[in-house]
Structures are given as C-alpha cells and as structure tokens.
Amino acid sequence: MTEENILERLKRRVAVPRGSRIIVGIGDDCAIFRPRGGREDLLFTTDLLIEGVHFERATHAPAVVGRKALVRGLSDIAAMGGDPLFCLLSLGLPEWAGRGWVERFYNGLLKCAKEAGVILAGGDLARTDRVMCDIVVAGSVPKGRALRRDGAKPGEAIYISGRLGGSALGLATKRGRAWQRHRRPEARLALGRYLREKLKATAAMDLSDGLSLDLRRLCLASNVSAEIEAPPTFPGATLEQALHGGEDYELLFTVRPGTRVPARFQNLQLSRIGVIRRGSAGRVVLNGRPLAPLGYDHFRGS
Amino acid sequence: MTEENILERLKRRVAVPRGSRIIVGIGDDCAIFRPRGGREDLLFTTDLLIEGVHFERATHAPAVVGRKALVRGLSDIAAMGGDPLFCLLSLGLPEWAGRGWVERFYNGLLKCAKEAGVILAGGDLARTDRVMCDIVVAGSVPKGRALRRDGAKPGEAIYISGRLGGSALGLATKRGRAWQRHRRPEARLALGRYLREKLKATAAMDLSDGLSLDLRRLCLASNVSAEIEAPPTFPGATLEQALHGGEDYELLFTVRPGTRVPARFQNLQLSRIGVIRRGSAGRVVLNGRPLAPLGYDHFRGS
C-alpha cells in the first residue's frame, strides 16, 4: 500500500459529476471550486504536520512548527499560481504542550499568515499523544487560470526554481544554511503568480516529496514522460538528495517552447532541467537512464 | 488551559480587517467566506476524529469511523442552515490499518458523502501511531443568510431538536439504540435548512459538546443569558447525560417570540426548552439554578 495507490483507488471511486462546481478534485496540489456567478476560482489544500513524522519536538521550536504548518499549505497555493485568502487549523496537543508552547506556536503561524495576507478563520482542537497540525489553506485565481499538474505537453521545457536537496541535507546534518532551509521553508507565492500571469506556465506543482516522485506525478497527470538532466543542487547536497529529498518547496513547472524564462526571479534561480516527451506516462529519464521515483511516500513498504 | 481560553486568546489576536471577505472567523460552527461577485456565502468547518479520543478501534468498525468523520463536519454545516458542497480529508494511518481497513473506512465516508451530495475533493495522507482524521466540509448559504451563534436576543424562545443524552448513554453502556446513536450520529441538514428558510431562526449551533457548554457558547456569542428547563432525554439517559453529554449532534436554536414551531419536523421532535434573557453573558439557569458548563472540553484540568 502506497500513497499513490490509495489515491489512485480513491480517484476511480469518486466520480465528479458533469457540471459539478468542483473543477479539479483529488490528485492536484489543490482542489478547485467554482463559486456561482463569480469571476474567480477558489483553491483548497490540506496538509498534515505531525510530530515524529514531519518534525521533532527536540529540534523544532514551537514558532518554527507553527510557521511550517502554514507554509506547507501556502506552497500548494503557490503551485497553482493562487493568492492565499484564509486558513483553518486543526491542532492536536499533548499534555506537555502547555500555554507557553501553544502561544509560541501561534506566534509563528500568525506572523507567517500576516506576511502572506492570510486570515486564520477557524479550526478544531483536541488532546493527542503527539503534536498534530492539519492546515487548510484557501486561495483564489482568476476563473480557469489555475496552474495544474495536467497541462504539460510534449516539447515543452521543464524548469525548477532554486536549488534542490537543501532540506534533505539539513535533516541529515542539522547544521548551517541547509538546516535553516529544512526548518524554515518558503512558499513561492510571488513566483507562482508570475508563472501564471507572465510566463503562462502550462503546468506546475510544488516539490514537497522529491523531484523524482513529484515529476513522475506531474507526468502521470499530463499523460507524458520527461527527459531531464541533473538539477542544480543546494550547496553541499548530494545529487541523491536533490533528486529524491523532500520538503524543498521549490516549484516545478513547464512552459511552451520558445518561452523566454529569465535566469532569476526576485533573486531566485530558475533552471531549465529538461523537456516533456510523448511516451509512457509518468516515465522520467535522467541523462538517458530511467529515474526511479524514490521520493518520500509515507506508506511505502507497508 | 481550556479550549475556550485558547480560542478566546486567538480571537483577540486575529484581527479580521474591515472589508474582509471573511464574514465570520474563529468561534462559530463554520467560518463564513464571501466570494467576489457571487450571491452565496461559503461555509467552512474542520473537525478532528482521533482514535482513543473520539473513538476506539475495538468498538468502531472502519466504515463507522469514516462515516462519523464526515458527519461531524456535516453537522456544522447543518447548524448554519447550509447546503454541503464538498469535503477534504486528511488521514493519518497506523501500520495496522491495512488495505482492507482503509477500503472500508472510505466505503463508510463515501456512502455518507453521496447521501449528503458532497464530493470528496482532496486531502492528505500520513503515517501515524493512531488513526487520525481531519475532515474539512464546505457548504453554501444564500448571501448573508447563515444561521450564526451570535443572533439570539432577549425574549426569544430556545429550542432543541430530538432528545439528548443518547450518545453519552451509548458510550457508557455500549448497548442498544443509544450505542447505535453514539456510533452513527446524523447531521440535521434538512432541519438546518428549514430553520433558515421557514422558521427564520435567529441563532443556531449543533450540540457536539453537551447542552450546558454549547448553550453557554451561544449565549456568550450573543451576549445574553438563558433560562431553561430540563430538555427531553433520550430513552434511558439520565438528566446529567442530557445536560452535559457530548456528540448528540442535535440542533440548538432560537426563534423570535410568536414563531410557530411545529412539534415535529420530519419525525424529529422539536422542543422548547427555555427563553433568552438579558444579563450576564453566557450564564445559563436551569429551573432557577445556575447550570455549570460541564460539557466536553479536551483540555480541562490541564
């Protein structure tokens, strides 16, 4: 049982009826809902952040946890080129997380929310064994304009933002800029809007589970394959970390042939790493050899 | 630290700016968001359902858990008089929950979703120690028409649907209709719409944490007090269970003086239990004596 086959089975079971206001359901970074009579589509994403799975109490201060919970959701909004609007937070708290911890957790979350222009509009609370956050973030895009995973076409160029593997390196070494990167990721909101408005990206998603797995997902959704070369690596990170490491929260996107993509957007490197091809859906080839999707899957092996 | 004081502190910290599209934020059954240019308001609620807290693996079949996860969210939509639209589910699964368990869990959830006309549009998955569900349900109401907690005025009559204490009785005895009631609660969606459209209820909420605590919350939100008599009890339940027991998922509502409320709505009893008064906000008086808010609080005592 892997995440992928749970999701595949679910997608087959959940029929979205014709004429539904759900424009995109299970399987993209966000669900897309079209309000009646409006000019915008609404985006919705949920992301878990669990002690012992996504972070450790010993190494993540409460404000870091609060911030990261929200950034994970914001990154999905960024991936679709959206503007974040509001969030809801379900929070499970163990006994050791007293008033001070909770206060600092919300400090981190609310500071990040303020910077992103997001209002905390609700949620739920419960007593749990470990800290458990589930963030819901809602965003908007002009009607029909969301960047989706399923728009990539053969011949289009594949790009990523930033340099990969920093979060995996940080998790391994717990030192330096890579550790900072792991603990304080950024949601590429301005870049997402730029991809939608200016570059007219044809597909996009955020890199949360590793390039090898996430690019495969984009290719599966678009029914295409991909040929890539090695992506730029975070200083000190190995190629393995850059290819398979999770939680970089950079954006992966495709553009039509001939699109002029600048080398940088607001100080963030944009790198062409390959091209979309016809052929076996989901297949990713690195320097001529198949790349196994070894990115992070919560359920692999069970 | 109680749920109430965490929420009170948060509400003070989260300023919803004037002109925001968040019409109601933290503190009601759902957040209310107003899409641009539309004729409807959208409702959003999140609800946790956690193994060992809200249910036990030994006594709750996977389909029962899946259904209950969704009903908790649907009940909040019902409380605001909304029509449910779609849901997202974040699901944490321990190793013991294999393919068969997951399949039956989704059977229960998707059957309930179909009956309510709700589409499962996305979510998240993670490996956890215990089963952990966080459901997000979105719904809609005509613009400005949501039933809120803060609309009750002195002189208005207080009603509840059904008979209370069944869920608490079932949890204690694990037998008979009360146990069925605990495991398979119903969301009062049709009643919620009826309260909004026909009875023009002035305030409403669902009874998830016990009448004593939930009525206090309604009174606090409306800045009023309440005088009640004993509510109808579920067959076999004690008055204590009816006053303080959680998870009945009946609706509590207020109507203007002179409103003709039928004795039944679709076979569900509607009972007048008291009247809204001026006076100390949040105070609830039962047969002339103050009623302590002993309903369920996850954090009380810690």
Q: What is the ipTM of this complex?
A: 0.94
Q: Which residues of B touch A13 (CB under 8 A)?
A: 106, 110
Task: Decide whether B3-142 matches B149-290 in CATH topology.
Answer: no
Q: Does residue B206 have a pLDDT over 50?
A: yes
Smallest CA–CA distance from B37 into chain A, residue: A38
Which among B9, B42, B99 has CB closest to A1?
Answer: B99
- Look at residue B302 and tell me whether its pLDDT is greater than 50: no
Question: Residue A193 and residue A195: Cα distance in Å, rounded?
Answer: 5
Nearest CA in chain B to A301: B95
Q: Give me the residue from A127, A129, A298 closest to B125, CB to CB.
A: A298
Write out chain A residues lying below 8 Å of B102, CB-based: 1, 6
Domain A149-290 architecture = Alpha-Beta Complex (3.90)
Residues 6+ apart with CB under 8 A from A181: A166, A167, A169, A170, A234, A248
AA letter at A78: A
Q: Which of A29, A39, A48 is most worth mutating to test chain B (most B CB atoms within 10 A of its CB)? A: A48
CB contact under 8 Å between B3 and A125, yes or no, is yes
Contact A193, A141 (CB under 8 A): no
Q: For chain B, what are the domain ranges? A: 3-142, 149-290
A298/B127 touch (CB, cutoff 8 Å), yes or no: yes
pLDDT of residue B212: 97
Q: In angstroms, rounded to a whole number, what is the distance separating the alpha carbons of residues A185 and A256?
A: 29
Mutate to test the interface with B, among A32, A87, A132, A205 (most CBs of B within 10 A): A132
Q: Strands B119-127 and B289-290, how do they pair?
A: unpaired
> Which pLDDT score, from 0 to 100, does residue A301 have?
53
Structure tokens at A207: 């890199």
- List of E strands, chain B: 22-24, 31-33, 40-50, 83-93, 119-127, 132-142, 157-161, 203-206, 225-228, 251-255, 264-265, 268-277, 284-286, 289-290
Out of B6, B20, B120, name the one closest to residue A125 (CB): B6
Q: Where are the beta strands (DSSP E) in A165-302?
A: 203-206, 225-228, 251-255, 264-265, 268-277, 284-286, 289-290
Choices 3.30.1330.10, 3.40.50.12780, 3.20.20.70, 3.40.50.880: CATH for B3-142: 3.30.1330.10
Q: Cα(B295)–Cα(B244) distance, rounded to whole angstroms?
A: 4
For testing contact with chain B, the best of A7, A24, A87, A120 (most B CBs within 10 A): A120
Out of A13, A44, A103, closest to residue B110 by CB: A13
Give the residues across from B252 on adjacent strands: B160, B205
Question: Chain B: nearest CA to A43, how far in angstroms?
Answer: 11
Strands B225-228 and B284-286: parallel
- DSSP-derived 3-state class of residue B207: coil
**Residues lower than pLDDT 70 in chain A:** 301-302
* Contact residues, chain B, for A302 at CB < 8 Å: 95, 98, 127
pLDDT at B2 over 90: no
Q: What is the pLDDT of residue A302?
A: 39
- pTM here is 0.95
Q: Are strands B83-93 and B119-127 parallel, antiparallel or unpaired?
A: parallel
CB contact under 8 A, B126 and A22: no
Is a pLDDT exceeding 80 seen at residue B198?
yes
